[in-house]
Amino acid sequence: MRPRILIVDDEEPILLALREYFVPLQYEVDCARELEEAEALLSHVHYALLIADLRLTGSQGNEGLELIRFVRERSPWTRIVVLTGYGSAEIESEAVGRGVDAFLQKPMPLADLAEIASALTRGTA
Amino acid sequence: MSLWDRIIEPDGLTTVFQPIFRIAGEGRSTYAYEALTRGPKGTNIERSDVLFEYVRRKHRESEVDLLSIAAALRESRHLPGEPSLSLNVHASTLERDDSLAGSLAMLCAEHEVPLERIIIEIVEHAPPWSGPQLLASLAELRALGVRIALDDVGLGQSNFRMILDCHPNLLKIDRHFVNGCHADPHRRAVLLSIADLAVRLGGQAVAEGIEEERDLKAVTDLGIDLVQGYLLCLPRSSQALRDAEVPAEVA
């Protein structure tokens, strides 16, 4: 069975690029564009891995942190990668405190992201 | 286009129907059709469980409940016969929307569906949605001739207080108590208790989630003759149901 991953980003081109990259790598890929959509999926679908942007609305919010909390409460077996172009040491520390598995800076080479995803999902499918 | 915009566009929501059957001896007839809403096609929220989780997180239950009712009534004209229609409404909608009964009456008039055919099925009845407006909404619905059903009886917030507050005509017993009841005297005891309570309150029990012949026999042996589940009929489009040949009761 292929690992199922959820990619959450409010930028459609990024979602498309990540989907096109991960599907041939034998992942089942779902994409969500907003926090509530991601939470609704996470409530009813089992994901091996969540890859989420820190900011989902273009505002100064850090919805990615909210998603980490949600996943850790509802789906503790799901591994979490947060991507950000605006990360600070403080936010990274908070993300780690909430249980993120990897906190990565954008831009990140897709091959590197895929390597991390593979390591995190190994044996989870 | 945002996901919300997809929901509210014309035909964004679609409806399938699952019959509630009345079992009589070896025969059965359609007592009602429960309308089940599906989200916009090709989206993550096409599945109803994800759709309503999304809607609740957006706090848009009232709008989507009304859109779902409109979609169900529109589609119901293709159903065979004229049995009752069970329409799901969040308890939060009954509490927040003081115009629900009026809106329902208008929609029924528009689609030429008599209100006597309508059952409002209360779903997701978690606190604080048991306040005075919920009771007022239910009273207005009853005054229109609408019947009330309580979903998921036996689990969570579908408890004795909700039963007392809502005076449901139908107690829909959660599948948790139905699945495997043929082999479990404890489950049968719960089923019998709820069925007896329903009758004492002037209503009827419905056994949801029938998936095995043995469970069907067990619940009918307990005197529960209203049943629903995949064993009997999957949720289907109105056209597919019209093609099936199950006699319908007149509401």
The answer to whether the CB atoms of A39 and B57 lie below 8 A apart is: yes
What CATH number is attached to the domain comprising A20? 3.40.50.2300
The predicted pLDDT at position B250 comes to 57
- Strand-pairing partners, residue B226, are B22, B206
Q: What is the pLDDT, as a whole number, of residue B151? A: 92
Q: Give the distance from residue A50's alpha carbon to the nearest chain B alpha carbon, in angstroms.
A: 15
DSSP string, B195-228: HHHHHHTT-EEEE-----HHHHHHHHHTT--EE-
The verdict on a CB contact (< 8 Å) between B57 and A41 is no
| pLDDT for position A125 | 46
Q: List the one residue out of B84, B48, B42 whose CA is nearest residue B64.
A: B48
Determine the average pLDDT of the residues in B238-244: 89
Task: Tell me if A85 sits within 8 A of A57, measured CB to CB.
Answer: no
Residue B123, helix vs strand vs coil: strand
Domain range enclosing A63: 4-121
Q: What is chain B's Cα-based Rg?
A: 17
Tell me how far apart the alpha carbons of residues A40 and B53 are, in angstroms, rounded to a whole number.
5
Q: Do B50 and A34 touch (CB under 8 A)?
A: no
Residue to test with chain A: of B3, B44, B45, B64, most A Cβ within 10 A: B44
The pLDDT score that the predictor gives to residue A84 is: 86
Query: Residue B251 — pLDDT band, cuts 50, 70, 90?
Result: low
pLDDT at B82: 87
Closest by alpha carbon to B188, among B158, B213, B219?
Answer: B219
Position A90 pLDDT exceeds 90: no
Q: What is the ipTM of this complex?
A: 0.87
Instruction: State the total domains in chain A.
Output: 1
**SS3 state at A81:** strand
pTM: 0.89
Q: What is the DSSP string of B158-195?
A: -SHHHHHHH--SEEEE-HHHHTTGGG-HHHHHHHHHHH
Q: What is the pLDDT of residue B248?
A: 60
The CATH number of B3-243, from 3.90.1150.10, 3.20.20.450, 3.40.50.10190, 1.10.760.10, is: 3.20.20.450
Q: Which has the higher per-residue pLDDT, B191 or A59?
A: B191
